[in-house]
A and B are shown apart, each in its own frame.
Chain A
Amino acid sequence: MIDFNLLVAICILYVAFLFLVAFIAERRANAGQVGWLRSPLVYTLSLSVYCTAWTFYGAVGYAARSGLEFVTIYLGPTLVLIGWWWALRKLVRIGKTQRITSIADLISSRYGKSNTLGVIVTLLAVVGTTPYIALQLQSVTLSFAVFARAGADGWPMPDLNATALWVAGGLAVFTVLFGTRNLDTNEQHHGVVTAIAVEAVVKLVALLGVGLFVVWGVAGGIDPMLSRISDSPLATAPFNGGRWVGLTFLSAAAIFTLPRMFQVLVVENADERHLATASWAFPLYLFLMSLFVVPIAVIGLSDMPAGANPDLFVLTIPLSLGKEGLATLAFLGGFSSATSMVIVASIALSTMVSNHIVMPLWLRLQGQGATVSGDVRKLVLRARRISIGAVLVLGYLYYRLTGGSAALASIGLISFAGVAQVLPALLGGLFWRGATRRGAAAGLLVGFAVWLYSLFLPSFGAGAVLSADLLANGPAGVSWLRPQALFGVTGMDPVVHAVFWSMVLNTFAFFAVSLGGFPGPMERLQGAQFVNVFEHSSAARGWAHGGAEAEDLMMMAQRILGPDEAQSLFLRAAQEQGKGGYLPETTPAFLERLERELAGSVGAATAHAMVGQIVGRSSVSVEDLMAVADETAQILETSVRLEAQSEELSRTARQLQEANEKLTELSVQKDAFLSQISHELRTPMTSIRAFSEILMDADALSGGERGKYSGIIHDEAIRLTRLLDDLLDLSVLERGQVTLDAQEGNLRELIDRALTATGATEGDDPLIIRRDRASENMQLVTDTDRLRQVFINLIANARKYCDAAQPVLRIDVRRQGDMIAVDFVDNGSGIPKKSQAIIFEKFSRLSDQSSAGGAGLGLAICREIMANLGGSISYLPGQGGAAFRVRIPLVYAKAA
């Protein structure tokens, strides 16, 4: 007999294996080797989160109770998938172009980025999914109990509630580890998806294994099996046409609206073509999963003792026939089904909760929050982790409340019916431009209310929430309001009844309110983009040309996307506009693009609000509305061409203007330098002349005086030489005649030596250095002396110019491909935007204080050195102080 401890050990080993799979997949994805991680096969297998423990155990129980009806749960998804060309393709395309993160995000984004709708859908999803999570916990605990009961040698019955708690806790840990590891801009989780795909294989193999065993091992082949089916009680099971149609519809709706299905189908989709494969492969998976359900149910009913729970036949049949290996496999299959569902569902729900409830609340509490301090990414991740925990706690509580007694299938159907309320707003939003925010909200609320009243609350049993009297006679005796016989329609199956009325009233409210109102400008824009996603994938603009400061936007973007991602986005945008540096013009196009990137992390509504806080009001211009409303392609095309031309022109103009500004600035600089350099040369010369005259004329000088005067002459001569050296150095570097001496060195030692050279390591130094020595440990091949010269220059600059009361210099090192980026960031007031363009020019000195000493050649020399070393040095705006980024290739390659 299988020992309880052995079973637990198998479970733990299996989970550890899943951890390993997820971990490896994540590692590969991070290293950029996506490859098979994103194949159509993995995509199809990941869709199998549809098949939960309800499918694995419940389908057999369902078949044992009501015959063939169980297949409707799989026929609906089959029809939707093979009809992918109708709706799924559009959904996936929209999900990709609009960076949709969840179903709540889709609805909110479609109806003018309204967060109210996001909140409604989120709440609906949480209420609808909780019972389902409870169901998974229940199935795992029940399957444990089966093994316990079978153990005749009597290992004690495990405490079911404790088992459920352990399972919930373990799942929370797994989900937090792999579901919220990073705030990905695409909200994709390679590790989780791969683990889910593995679990999909396990459950399929397990169910097929049990099925094959039952048909050939117990019944003795296909023909005997078929005749046993005909003789079984299933043959006389009543056939309910209403339920047949209603459940097919419900399961088809579930594919669109279940949060976990949306997550794997749309959010985790890597390539639209994978959908084409899934369109037949996923129905095939469902086909195989349900192929042996009836045989197992029939054999279970005839061979198992009366009163055995049909929901557990998959386990009990092999156990009772002594096939412990098979039973363990089946147990793992059920375990896989339950865990994969819970993991994906809690990721999807936590994304919704954090994007639509936590973030908006946080933004409101912060007031002008988007620009002030605080790491938003940490906040979002923390919110997600907490919501994952909360979702699982809710599921556990529901499990405790309902006592884990109801048959598996009925809880599943209640869940399906709840989330299906999103369907009218979803499909309406995809195909009908006239759908409005108010309509969607009305439909959702009405449907939700009817579902609660007629299905969810009565499901707790008479007297639990709704009194028995209310159930039998309606509220206050109004009989046509009876929860399970609305409007006097009696005799319908309760589920079909609730689905029918909630969907009818929901759809009616959605259409009536939509037709009665008028969509707002933002809704029209979004509506057109959604409905006509295949015609124009390029976005219409929702932002007017505002006075937004690119630097503020950059600060915000860095907090959400992370510094690397944000900087490369801004850099790319600036390059496309033909500008140097990190700060692009805040054109509507750029704002739109930034918003969409942000939406990938925090959802459309929040991203819109955050950009809005910085840019000011969002406005939709007349041209935008015309572009949307305009049906004549001619005008659109001409205006697009004109726009492209004017864009081109303005880009050229901007480049010219920048060049011109730079030239003017340079000529002013040069003039200033000439007088500066004359002054710099003249001052030492004057004192040299004066003191040498004194030395020449006076014989009466004491030895001490003579020493002092010649010392002054010597110092001044050194100053002159240094100035001339710098000039020479620069001109050599500029002409590329310098010979570089490449050698291997360690970056950490280089920085150490640079700090020592500037005296920053001495105890009483006012400049505080912050560095992460671990990340600096990198070998590189370059001219170390030259590189150190650059570091020394930057550190010395920070010491000289940082005007904070307590100057702090932060040195950040990170690897970017085969380059190393070293950032020197101080906490002073930074460099004014006007001057950022010229600090690397020769002779530029921002302050006139002579205390600064040098002639303004330091940064110019640095730039030339870095160019010669194959790297670069640039000013990094938006870091809260002066910040310079030095980029060095890991291996110096001599320019050909």
Chain B
Amino acid sequence: MARLLPVLGLLLFLVPLLGGRGGNAQISTLLVYLFGVWALLIVFAAILARQLYPADTPDQGADPDGGGE
């Protein structure tokens, strides 16, 4: 799911291409659409991040010494 989200985002962000040429799409509608999609993506990303690394997991980062043993 974490990997699908950017793909979904890309598709949604490319939608304006479809109606672009005709110029009959209202710019204000387009504006609201883009920022709406953007906000949704942020919310989804926040939920996913919460699930992937719950707040109390120990540090998953690599040992800075790289396991020299």
Query: Is the CB of A85 closer than 8 A to any CB of chain B?
Result: yes
Would you call B23 and A280 a contact (CB within 8 A)?
no
| B27-69 to A contact mask, C-beta < 8 Å, 1/0 | 1101110110011011111101100110001011111111111
Would you call B34 and A85 a contact (CB within 8 A)?
no
* Bound Cα distance A237, B9 (Å): 24
Contacts of A85 in B (CB 8 A): 2-3, 52
Q: Contact check: which of A80, A229, A287, A593 meets B6 at CB < 8 Å?
A: A80
Q: Kindly provide the distance from the CB of A431 to the nearest chain B CB, expressed in whole angstroms.
A: 13
In the complex, residue of chain B having the shortest beta-carbon distance to the beta carbon of A277: B49
Given A234-B27, A276-B52, A283–B41 Cβ distance below 8 Å? Answer: yes
Would you call A593 and B5 a contact (CB within 8 A)?
no
Interface residues in A205-244 (C-beta closer than 8 Å to B):
226-227, 229-230, 232, 234-237, 239, 241, 244
Q: Kindly provide the distance from the CB of A56 to the nearest chain B CB, expressed in whole angstroms.
A: 19
* Bound Cα distance A396, B63 (Å): 42
Contacts of B21 in A (CB 8 A): 239, 241
Total interface residues in chain A, CB < 8 Å: 57
Q: Kindly provide the distance from the CB of B44 to the nearest chain A CB, expressed in whole angstroms.
A: 8
Query: Is the CB of A186 closer than 8 A to any CB of chain B?
Result: yes
The number of chain B residues touching the other chain, given as a range, is 35 or more
Given A83-B5, A93-B62, A287–B38 Cβ distance below 8 Å? Answer: yes
In the complex, residue of chain B having the shortest beta-carbon distance to the beta carbon of A186: B64
Would you call A576 and B69 a contact (CB within 8 A)?
yes
Main SS of chain A's interface residues? helix
| A60-98 to B contact mask, C-beta < 8 Å, 1/0 | 000000011001000100111111111000000100111
Would you call B66 and A596 a contact (CB within 8 A)?
yes
In the complex, residue of chain A having the shortest beta-carbon distance to the beta carbon of B30: A68
Contacts of A576 in B (CB 8 A): 69
Query: Is the CB of A245 closer than 8 A to any CB of chain B?
Result: yes
Given A68-B34, A227-B28, A294-B31, A273–B60 Cβ distance below 8 Å? Answer: yes
User: Which residue among A93, A283, A539 has the maximum number of chain B CB atoms within 10 Å of its CB?
Assistant: A283
In the complex, residue of chain B having the shortest beta-carbon distance to the beta carbon of A95: B62
Query: Is the CB of A552 closer than 8 A to any CB of chain B?
Result: no
* Bound Cα distance A273, B67 (Å): 20
Contacts of B14 in A (CB 8 A): 244-245
Q: Kindly provide the distance from the CB of A533 to the nearest chain B CB, expressed in whole angstroms.
A: 8
Contacts of B27 in A (CB 8 A): 67-68, 229-230, 232, 234-235, 237
Would you call A272 and B61 a contact (CB within 8 A)?
yes
Q: Kindly provide the distance from the CB of B61 to the nearest chain A CB, expressed in whole angstroms.
A: 4
- 11 intermolecular pairs with C-beta atoms under 8 Å apart: A68-B16, A71-B34, A78-B38, A79-B9, A82-B44, A83-B3, A98-B66, A232-B27, A236-B23, A237-B27, A239-B16
Across the A-B interface, give the 10 residue pairs with the lowest CB-CB distance, nearest first: A83-B6, A593-B68, A280-B46, A280-B45, A85-B2, A272-B61, A538-B67, A276-B49, A82-B45, A239-B20
Q: A239-B23, A287-B38 are in contact. List 9 more A-B contacts (CB 8 A).
A: A71-B34, A75-B38, A78-B42, A82-B6, A85-B3, A97-B66, A271-B61, A277-B49, A287-B39
Which A residues are closer than 8 A to B by beta carbons?
67-68, 71, 75, 78-86, 93, 96-99, 186, 226-227, 229-230, 232, 234-237, 239, 241, 244-245, 248, 271-273, 276-277, 279-281, 283-284, 287, 291, 294, 533, 537-539, 573, 576, 589-590, 592-593, 596
